[in-house]
Structure 1
Amino acid sequence: MTKVKTALVVGGGIAGPVAAMALRQAGIEARVYEAYGSTAENVGGGLSIAPNGLAALKVIGADEVVRAIGLPMSSIVMHSWTGKRLASFAGPADLEPQRFVMRPDLYQALYGEAARRGIPVEHGRRLVSAEHLGAPDAPSGVRAHFADGSTAEADVLIGADGIRSTVRTIIDPAAPRPRYTGLLGFGGWSTGTGLASTGDAMYMMFGKRAFFGYQVFPDGRCGWFANLPHPQPMSWTQANKTGKQEWLRLIMAAFADDRMPVLDILRTSVESEFVAVGGMEDIPRVPHWHRGRMVLVGDAAHATSPSSGQGASLAAESAVQLARCLRDLPAEQAFVAYERLRRERVERIIAAAARTNSNKAAGPVARVLRDALLPTAMRLLAKPEKMAWQFDHRIDWPTPVTP
């Protein structure tokens, strides 16, 4: 069995450029193929990069570009709709704070860093199919077919093409589809709210009808997000058929009875910065991460809802770990080792986020029960050691991976 020398990375979002940079560090030449004809500077809302995500990026020397655009978020302060403080969650004291970033800024930073390192990215290449090369029981490579009629070949194909991954379906035609969490996601920036800085803390609130989070920075800017229960899922395209002002009106109506400064924030929201993400989704478990010379990474393999706060960080972890495995093992053995190292961790985080979503989307009766139990639950959970398993995860890049 021969060492992997070349890779096709399908998807140029977050996981794709990180995977390509990690593969380059592992001595594997990677080329990224992106379906869209241009870059995606204006797609997505706010998210957090956790210490474990920064640690993964540090392995490949890409952490500083994220620190440069991220704003520190050292704790999360939870409130009820009455304004009562329920709990404060802080990461372990020996770890750096999370970073709040806008997804377009994160995308641009990672894309730019990959370009600076000479990683080739080809746009307008939408994958439609892929096939193995060589003997059926011992494939030697992969050929990818794109919608424009072009093809590409390499030793392996890596699907970093998101929650609606084409590569996932090629690997397993019966692969599960995304699951709607019952929530629509929105985000934006506000200026001139008159609110005092929250320091490094993100304030979050279980409202009577919806969930809200915000952080006021020392310069007066306020980054915010809202999760609204909605019976039917909406794609990004469907959500953006409704005008921004109409969405803001609907969001304000959802928080009209809550005793937190949500309305002050929404009234001063900058229209050009408003983002309607659409339905929040996850996939509890993807049965097959790889087949032959094809493998999944990021949301294609383990899509967690935004409620986890770990989506981008897990994508970075998996991209780096996959490259480490391919550095040390033949493709098929590397994929088995990669899945062994990653599956339990990511599915545990997906499950935890699903429990959070159920609280956010609680109906009138469930909301009463939730509000009664939350203070006790928060006291038990709001301890740094409870969150350490998520935040202190590190990839041992120098140590060789064994089968």
Structure 2
Amino acid sequence: MTHALIIGGGIAGAATALALGKAGVTSTVYEAYPTGGDDVGAWLMVMHNGMDALRAIDADKPVIEASFRTRDVEYIGADGKTFASGPMGAAHPDPDGPRTIKRADLYLALQGELERRGGKIEHGKRLVSAEITDRVVATFEDGGTAKGDFLVGADGVWSTTRGLIDLDAPKPEFSGVTLVYGYTRDPSVPTVQDTCRLITGGVVCTTSPENETFWAAVVPGPPDDRPWLEVLAAQVAGTDIPRRVITAEQDDVLATGIHHLPHALPRWHNSRMVLVGDAAHLSATSAAQGASIALEDSVILAMCVRDVPDLERAFAAYQRIRAPRAQRLAEMVAKPVRTPEEARENARPEVRAWLYEHEIHWNEVIVP
């Protein structure tokens, strides 16, 4: 039986292991960190297309249980008044999405489902090199090795696998901004259930059924030791809802630098190694699509391996299917929304229908 080495136990890694398992391919996930998913982590949204990918591999239920629905979007001015609103993906038949969830909870949901199915996850395994012979042999920082028929690089922004596939692959560059995010249960924060609120002043927030508000904002500069709440308070001075969110009593406030690849990767694979998720393409946080696109990658890769006998041809089919969609997303989010008129246009469900209404049919045969 074909066996895969999956580098990285995050969203893409765990989902790839689940998808390959459904396709009849065994795998072992190698996670660099000693434990997985136990940090606070940023929050994210699994959009309709991400939920569709999870349903294709029967992994939607544990994610639904660990998340809450956020169906609508509101664009709000500095004065606190809504100037555009609507459902996210109005024509989509998905009864469950989109879902809001902390990144760590998504890791844990997928890893837990993988372990429930008998999947293997080894922690403390940081990849340093890989050699291709008749199979592929991975070497880890602790000196251990592992052999498989192919290797999947699900190792994120700072992917080691990316450089092993292509020595000239572009390296991530700092975008110039830091994502600051937090969580508050302060009752003074104005909330609307089942709604993601994009507010003039740069704050995005949504509230769980338990009245925990998840919020995020982008700040110019690196993720240093600045007092983030003070920086944000100055940045949103003169606004209504953003000021109230930032000045509320906070449970957690964290920051992470945003990086991007300066150009699209020309090669996602070689004869026995292939990339998924952020290792292959980086989606801007403003798109709320990083997790969903990664989940799509995982399922389509498994289908290609299932249906195309030769691995390199299977990987080529996977890149042929996935790269144009990733590039279209990159081009879409490269166009910033600067005015209320542009926000109203962006809020129309049909603008992102090509994203949200994407469906994966597991029984469809991939043709190389």
- Shorter-chain TM range is over 0.9
| Residue of structure 2 equivalent to 1:85 | 82
Which of the residues 320, 323, 334 maps onto 1:340?
Answer: 320
**Within 2, Cα distance between the matches of 1:38 and 1:217?**
27
Q: Does 1:355 align with 2:335?
A: yes
Compute the displacement of 1:302 (Å). 1.2
Segments ≥4 residues shifted beyond 4 Å = none
| Residue of structure 2 equivalent to 1:221 | 212
- Aligned-pair identity (%): 39
Compute the displacement of 1:196 (Å). 4.7
User: Number of matched residues?
Assistant: 363
Compute the displacement of 1:347 (Å). 1.3
Alignment of 1:50-199 (within 5 A): 50-90=47-87, 91-93=89-91, 94-96=93-95, 97-133=97-133, 140-199=134-193
Compute the displacement of 1:218 (Å). 4.5
Q: Does 1:268 align with 2:262?
A: no
Compute the displacement of 1:74 (Å). 1.1
Q: For the Cα contact (< 8 Å) 2:35–2:124, is it kept in 1? A: yes
- Deviation per CA, 1:209-244: give whole Å up to 9, x if none: xx10112345432221111122xx44xxxx4xx27x
Alignment of 1:177-326 (within 5 A): 177-207=171-201, 211-230=202-221, 233-234=222-223, 239=224, 242=225, 246-258=227-239, 260-271=240-251, 273-276=252-255, 278-283=256-261, 284-326=263-305
- Deviation per CA, 1:39-67: give whole Å up to 9, x if none: 23115211000011011011111101111
TM-score norm. by structure 2 comes to: 0.93
Compute the displacement of 1:195 (Å). 4.1
Q: Secondary structure at the match of 1:332?
A: helix
Amino acid at match of 1:129: S
Q: For the Cα contact (< 8 Å) 1:179–1:282, is it kept in 2? A: yes
**Within 1, Cα distance between the matches of 2:362 and 2:288?**
24
Return closer, same or farther for 1:182/1:80 CA change in 2, 3 Å cut-off: farther
| Residue of structure 2 equivalent to 1:12 | 9
TM-score norm. by structure 1 comes to: 0.86
**Within 2, Cα distance between the matches of 1:307 and 1:385?**
18
Q: Secondary structure at the match of 1:355?
A: coil
Q: Does 1:381 align with 2:346?
A: yes
Compute the displacement of 1:89 (Å). 4.2
Return closer, same or farther for 1:182/1:88 CA change in 2, 3 Å cut-off: farther
Q: Secondary structure at the match of 1:187?
A: strand
**Within 2, Cα distance between the matches of 1:198 and 1:87?**
15
Amino acid at match of 2:164: I
